[in-house]
């Protein structure tokens, strides 16, 4: 895992660029979860406090999907269907950015940690 002496700012968004955001990162660590929705979306998690995330454009393009406990707010673009960020169940007061939606080859800069989200209740304390 790579701790940064200074924040790094990444830009990102959805495929059609209707949604654009920036995120400031303190640590280049992301989480690969194997739960049913993360596997299907290919989501690689970067969980940050809201003050480190800025939606630059696209609030009108956002749609939200919820299921099960309805705590997580899975945001996606109503135009292209991409899921660039959401409010996670594990950290409902944070923003969870999909590292795969960051511009350029940002994913290659991150250390990826596996998380057994298929067994969420038994493992959630690993990322809290």
* CATH code: domain of residue 65: 2.170.150.70
| Residue 11 resides in a domain | yes
Pairing of the two strands 44-48 and 29-33: antiparallel
> Is residue 83 domain-resident?
yes
Please count the structural domains in the chain: 1
pTM: 0.88
Could you list the pLDDT tens digit for every one of the 128 residues in the chain?
556 678 999 999 999 999 999 999 999 999 998 988 889 999 999 999 999 999 999 999 999 999 988 888 999 999 999 999 999 988 899 999 999 999 999 999 999 998 887 886 777 777 64
pLDDT at position 119 is 83
Instruction: Give domain status of residue 93, yes or no.
Output: yes
Measured distance CA(2)–CA(19) in Å, rounded:
28
Which residue range(s) make up the domain with 50? 3-116
For the chain, how big is the Rg over CA atoms in Å? 14
């Amino acid at each position: 895992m790579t701790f940064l002496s200074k924040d790094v700012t990444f830009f990102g968004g959805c495929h059609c660029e209707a949604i654009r955001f920036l995120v400031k990162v303190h640590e280049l660590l992301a989480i690969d979860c194997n739960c049913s929705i993360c596997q299907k979306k290919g989501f690689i998690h970067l969980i940050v406090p809201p003050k480190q995330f800025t939606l630059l454009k696209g609030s009108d393009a956002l749609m939200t999907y919820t299921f099960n406990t309805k705590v997580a707010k899975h945001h996606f673009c109503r135009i292209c269907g991409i899921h660039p960020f959401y409010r996670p169940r594990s950290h409902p007061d944070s923003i969870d950015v999909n590292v795969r939606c960051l511009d350029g080859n940002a994913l290659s800069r991150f250390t990826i940690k596996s998380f057994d989200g298929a067994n969420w209740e038994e493992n959630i304390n690993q990322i809290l």
